[in-house]
């Protein structure tokens, strides 16, 4: 199980090099880039471990946050330079208000071509699915946990219910943090949970709940998280933004390639355990992991892409003003990185 102390850490930052000007391509020192994120294993740590960022003259500082809602304000005010976050209602509202940040890559998507497998599941209490099978129509009147309104876990739960013609009004929806869902399922405080790995696999391994369905079966191609640049590397120092993207792209390709084989996956597990240690390192060789598409290009149109997600939140009344997605997305960093590999 993930350490409580670690999961509650607000931020972890490496010491900055004092007195060094942040000059692009500085010969005397690496450029410092602070990356805001939740405490989850991603390709960023592959890039750090394999030296891809170092090769670009970049020293990456991961800064951990407790929730995605904290990331965008920190990004727009320059507290961090890069953010990896889910495109929830809060993000679309910030974009509508003209937040000083830009979406530059799709860094976590669902789909059958994801080499690590799915990482989001609808979990159902074992006693409600004694033979390992649960039909969505049987969810009526049950209590379903999501992380919060206006987030991926809620959209996933609602889409799952819709496959049986059910609406949110047919169930009791409660919001709670991911770790609390596991305890709530164990003590029968909830019946179902829309959750992600490693929590889903931990539940299955403990015999507490079964995986009723994975996200790609309900919403194939769903964009689970995007990468955003703040004003410093998104506008002021665009060459640094391209260098960062080039390093991250190499790390993502390395991750995709190694997850395709048992030996490669074991190597990824060892790397992640160094940076995001968990009590059972073997889980890293079994769970679904955050993986970006091969080209990392931001997809705004199409089912389950950004515009579709935004429209769902508009229908719920969680987004009052639709942001201009075209103005908020910039694929030139991905394109520039691809041209200069």
User: What architecture (CATH level 2) is domain 120-218?
Assistant: 3-Layer(aba) Sandwich (3.40)
Domain ranges of the chain: 4-110+222-339, 120-218
Q: Is the pLDDT of residue 325 over 80?
A: yes
Report residue 112's pLDDT band, with 50, 70 and 90 as the boundaries: low
Scanning the chain, the segments in alpha helix (DSSP H) are 4-7, 43-49, 52-55, 71-76, 89-96, 152-162, 178-186, 199-206, 215-218, 231, 238-258, 262-275, 306-316, 325-328, 332-339
What's the pLDDT score for residue 95?
A: 92
| Each residue's pLDDT tens digit, 237-276 | 999 999 999 999 999 999 999 999 999 999 999 999 999 9
CATH 3.40.190.10 fits 4-110+222-339, yes or no: yes
Average pLDDT over residues 290-308: 92
Average pLDDT over residues 272-290: 90
| Each residue's pLDDT tens digit, 47-77 | 999 999 999 999 999 999 877 778 888 998 9
Any residues with CB less than 8 A from the CB of 64 and at least 6 apart, and which? 9, 10, 11, 12, 36, 37, 38, 39
- Give the integer Cα–Cα distance in Å for 294 and 302: 18
Report residue 78's pLDDT band, with 50, 70 and 90 as the boundaries: very high
Average pLDDT over residues 324-329: 93
Average pLDDT over residues 157-166: 96
């Amino acid at each position: 199980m993930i350490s409580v102390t670690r999961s509650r850490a607000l931020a972890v930052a490496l010491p900055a090099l004092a007195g060094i000007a942040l000059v692009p391509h500085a010969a005397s020192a690496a450029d410092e880039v602070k990356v805001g994120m939740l405490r989850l294993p991603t390709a960023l740590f592959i890039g750090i471990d394999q030296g891809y960022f170092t090769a670009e003259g970049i020293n990456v500082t991961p800064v951990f946050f407790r929730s995605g809602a904290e990331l965008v304000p920190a990004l727009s005010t320059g507290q961090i330079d890069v953010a990896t976050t889910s495109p929830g209602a809060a993000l679309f509202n910030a974009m509508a208000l003209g937040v000083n940040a830009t979406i530059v890559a799709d860094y976590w998507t669902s789909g059958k071509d994801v080499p690590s497998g799915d990482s989001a599941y609808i979990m159902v209490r074992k006693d409600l699915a004694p033979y390992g099978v649960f039909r969505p129509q049987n969810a009526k009147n049950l209590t379903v946990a999501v992380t919060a309104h206006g987030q991926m876990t809620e959209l996933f739960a609602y889409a799952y219910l819709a496959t049986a013609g059910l609406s949110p009004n047919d169930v009791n929806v409660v919001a709670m943090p991911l770790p609390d869902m596991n305890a709530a399922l164990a003590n029968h405080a909830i019946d179902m949970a829309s959750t992600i790995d490693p929590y889903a696999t931990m539940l299955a391994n403990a015999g507490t709940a079964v995986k009723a369905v994975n996200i790609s079966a309900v919403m194939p191609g769903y964009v689970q998280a995007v990468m955003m640049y703040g004003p410093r590397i998104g506008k002021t120092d665009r060459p640094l933004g391209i260098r960062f993207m080039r390093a991250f792209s190499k790390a993502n390709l390395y991750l995709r390639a190694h997850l395709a084989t048992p030996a490669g996956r074991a190597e990824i597990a060892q790397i992640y355990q160094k940076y995001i240690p968990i009590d059972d390192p073997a889980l890293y060789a079994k769970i679904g992991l955050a993986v970006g598409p091969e080209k990392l290009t931001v997809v705004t149109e199409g089912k389950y892409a950004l515009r579709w997600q935004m429209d769902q939140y508009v229908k719920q009344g969680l987004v009052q003003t639709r942001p201009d997605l075209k103005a908020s997305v910039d694929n030139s960093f991905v394109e520039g990185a691809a041209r200069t590999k």
